[in-house]
C-alpha cells in the first residue's frame, strides 16, 4: 500500500473517486459558501493544484493551499488583512487514519508555509472533526473564533509561537539554545528514515516525499550509556558512509532535527524498562522491525532511544561532508567521539548555511 506525496492538478483527479464522498457530504453549500463539488470544479478549471498522496488503492490524502491577503470575518470579530496561507482542504482517507500519514502531511504543509513568505497559516473545521483539530493543535494551532459557516478557525502565527514543545514550534528553532550536537546514523538506516535526496525542491512539481508517510517524528536507537542530548536541543543528522573507501567525502550532514524525548532502556547490561514497555514508547516510529529491535535490546550493553522531530533537510547536492566539517574545525580529533561534540549556536548556523539553508527563516528570536 506504500505510496508517495506529489503535486497534482485538480483536473487530473477523478472527482467521482469515493475519497471525495465525505467532503461532498460535509460541504454541500449554503448561503455563506459554495458546495465542495462546485468549488472543486471551478478550481480545476483555473488550474489549481494540491498535495496528494496516492497508493495502489487510489487517493489517500488531499491537501489544497492558498496564499491570500484579506480580512477574515468571524462571528464576533474581524481579523485584519495580513499575508496568510490558508489550508483550504485537508483530508485523509479512512484507511490511513490513526496512522502517520496525517503527521507527515502536516509536516509538509508547515514546511510549505515556512517558505511561503506569509506570517500566518490557518484552516477551518467543524466541531465534529475532533481528530483533525487535535492534530493541528499539537503543532501549535489555536482557536481564534468561528466563521459565519459555523466552522472553527484555527491559526498559527510566526510571531506567536510557543517554544515549550518541539511539536508546537515546528518548523522553527528558537535561538538561544545552549548547544547542538551530532546524531550518527549508518547509511542503510539513514536512507530509510531520512531520504533527503528526494526532498530537494519540496515546492516544485513532482515527488515531495515518500518518507513523510511515516511522519516527522523519527526514532534513533543508539548505544550511549549516558545522556548526551536534551529535549528541545537541535541536532544534525550525520549519514555515516559504510560501503567502502571515500568516507571523508561521502559521509555527510543531510538533515537537522530537534530532540523530543529520550528513553534510556539499558545501561551497562542492566535493563531499565521491559521490551514491551520499550515497544509501547516507540510505537510505529522505528525503522527497525520488532526482531531487530529485540536483538539490539538483548545484545547491546547500552540502549538509548531518542525521538527526533524532523525539522529540515539540505537536499540533494547541498549535503555537508566530513572533509568540510573537519577543515572548518567542526569535527573532532581521533581522541574523541563525534557524539560528544557540543556545537555553539553560531557553529550550528554555519553548517546550516553551508547546506544552503536560509538560517533567518529557520532560527528565530
Query: What pLDDT digit, counting tens, does each position of 278-307 carry?
Result: 988 887 777 778 888 899 999 999 999 999
Grid cell at residue 78:
474581524
173-174 and 181-186: which strand pairing? unpaired
Give the domain ranges of the chain: 4-160, 174-364
- Determine the Cα–Cα distance for residues 50 and 112; give it in Å rounded to an integer: 12
> What mean pLDDT is predicted for residues 145-168?
91
> What mean pLDDT is predicted for residues 135-157?
93
CATH number for the domain formed by residue range(s) 174-364: 2.30.130.30
Query: What pLDDT digit, counting tens, does each position of 221-258 carry?
Result: 888 877 788 899 999 999 989 888 888 999 999 999 99
| DSSP, res 331 | S
Are the C-beta atoms of 256 and 191 separated by less than 8 Å? no
Maximum pairwise Cα distance, the chain:
72
Grid cell at residue 232:
528541545
Per-residue model confidence (pLDDT) at position 281: 85
Distance from the first to the final alpha carbon of the chain: 42
Cβ neighbours of residue 319 under 8 Å, at least 6 residues apart?
Answer: 196, 239, 252, 253, 254, 355
Per-residue model confidence (pLDDT) at position 344: 94
Grid cell at residue 55:
497508493
User: Does the pLDDT value for residue 43 go beyond 90?
Assistant: yes
CATH number for the domain formed by residue range(s) 4-160: 3.40.630.30
Choose between 97 and 301: higher pLDDT. Answer: 301
Residue recorded with cell 521490551: 275
Choose between 1 and 282: higher pLDDT. Answer: 282
**Half-sphere exposure for 343 (CA within 13 Å, toward CB):** 24
User: Does the pLDDT value for residue 199 go beyond 50?
Assistant: no
Per-residue model confidence (pLDDT) at position 215: 78
In the chain, the percentage of residues whose pLDDT exceeds 70 is: 92
Mean pLDDT, the chain, whole residue set: 87
Per-residue model confidence (pLDDT) at position 31: 61
Chain centroid, CA 117 distance in Å: 19
- Determine the Cα–Cα distance for residues 183 and 124; give it in Å rounded to an integer: 38
Query: Which of 20-29, 116-125, 205-214 is the most confident on average?
Result: 116-125
- Determine the Cα–Cα distance for residues 264 and 1; give it in Å rounded to an integer: 34
E-strand ranges in the chain read 4-9, 49-55, 58-69, 72-73, 78-79, 83-92, 120-125, 142-146, 152-157, 173-174, 181-186, 207-209, 217-222, 234-240, 252-267, 270-271, 303-313, 320-321, 363-364
Per-residue model confidence (pLDDT) at position 194: 75
- Cα dist. 96→57, 64, 134, 293 in Å? 11, 18, 16, 25
Assess whether the previous peptide bond of 171 is cis (omega < 30° from 0): yes
pLDDT band of 106, cuts 50, 70, 90: very high
User: Does the pLDDT value for residue 201 go beyond 70?
Assistant: no
- Determine the Cα–Cα distance for residues 245 and 303; give it in Å rounded to an integer: 29
| DSSP, res 257 | E
Q: What values do phi and psi take at 69, rounded to 5?
A: -145, 85
Amino acid at each position: 500500500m506504500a505510496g508517495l506525496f506529489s503535486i497534482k492538478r485538480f483536473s487530473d483527479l477523478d472527482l467521482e473517486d469515493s475519497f471525495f464522498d465525505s467532503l461532498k457530504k460535509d460541504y454541500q453549500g449554503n448561503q455563506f459558501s459554495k458546495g465542495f463539488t462546485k468549488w472543486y470544479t471551478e478550481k480545476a478549471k483555473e488550474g489549481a493544484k494540491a498535495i496528494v498522496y496516492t497508493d495502489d488503492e487510489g487517493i489517500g490524502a488531499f491537501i489544497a493551499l492558498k496564499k491570500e491577503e484579506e480580512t477574515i470575518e468571524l462571528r464576533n470579530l474581524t481579523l485584519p488583512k495580513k499575508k496568510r496561507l490558508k489550508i483550504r482542504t485537508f483530508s485523509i482517507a479512512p484507511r490511513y487514519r490513526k496512522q502517520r500519514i496525517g503527521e507527515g502531511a502536516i509536516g509538509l504543509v508547515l514546511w510549505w508555509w515556512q517558505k511561503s513568505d506569509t506570517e500566518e497559516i490557518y484552516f477551518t473545521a467543524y466541531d465534529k472533526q475532533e481528530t483533525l483539530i487535535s492534530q493541528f493543535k499539537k503543532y501549535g494551532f489555536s482557536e481564534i473564533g468561528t466563521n459565519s459557516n459555523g466552522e472553527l478557525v484555527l491559526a498559527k502565527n510566526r510571531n506567536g509561537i510557543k517554544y515549550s514543545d518541539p511539536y508546537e514550534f515546528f518548523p522553527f528553532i528558537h535561538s538561544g539554545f545552549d548547544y547542538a550536537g551530532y546524531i550518527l546514523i549508518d547509511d542503510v538506516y539513514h536512507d530509510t528514515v531520512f531520504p533527503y535526496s528526494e526532498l530537494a525542491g519540496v515546492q516544485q512539481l513532482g515527488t515531495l516525499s515518500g518518507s513523510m508517510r511515516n511522519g516527522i517524528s523519527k526514532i534513533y536507537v543508539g548505544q550511549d550509556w549516558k545522556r548526551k542530548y536534551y529535549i528541545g536541543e537541535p541536532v544534525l543528522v550525520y549519514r555515516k558512509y559504510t560501503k567502502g573507501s571515500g568516507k571523508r567525502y561521502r559521509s555527510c550532514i543531510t538533515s537537522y532535527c530537534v530532540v523530543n524525548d529520550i528513553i534510556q532502556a539499558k545501561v551497562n547490561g542492566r535493563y531499565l524498562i521491559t521490551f514491551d514497555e520499550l515497544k509501547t514508547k516507540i510505537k510505529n516510529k522505528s525503522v527497525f522491525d520488532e526482531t531487530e529491535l529485540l536483538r539490539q535490546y538483548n545484545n547491546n550493553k547500552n540502549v538509548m532511544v531518542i525521538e527526533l522531530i524532523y525539522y529540515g533537510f539540505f537536499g540533494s547536492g547541498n549535503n555537508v561532508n566530513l572533509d568540510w566539517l573537519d577543515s572548518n574545525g567542526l569535527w573532532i580529533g581521533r581522541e574523541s567521539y563525534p557524539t560528544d561534540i557540543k556545537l555553539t549556536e553560531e557553529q550550528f548556523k554555519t553548517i546550516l548555511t553551508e547546506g544552503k539553508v536560509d538560517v533567518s527563516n529557520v532560527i528565530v528570536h
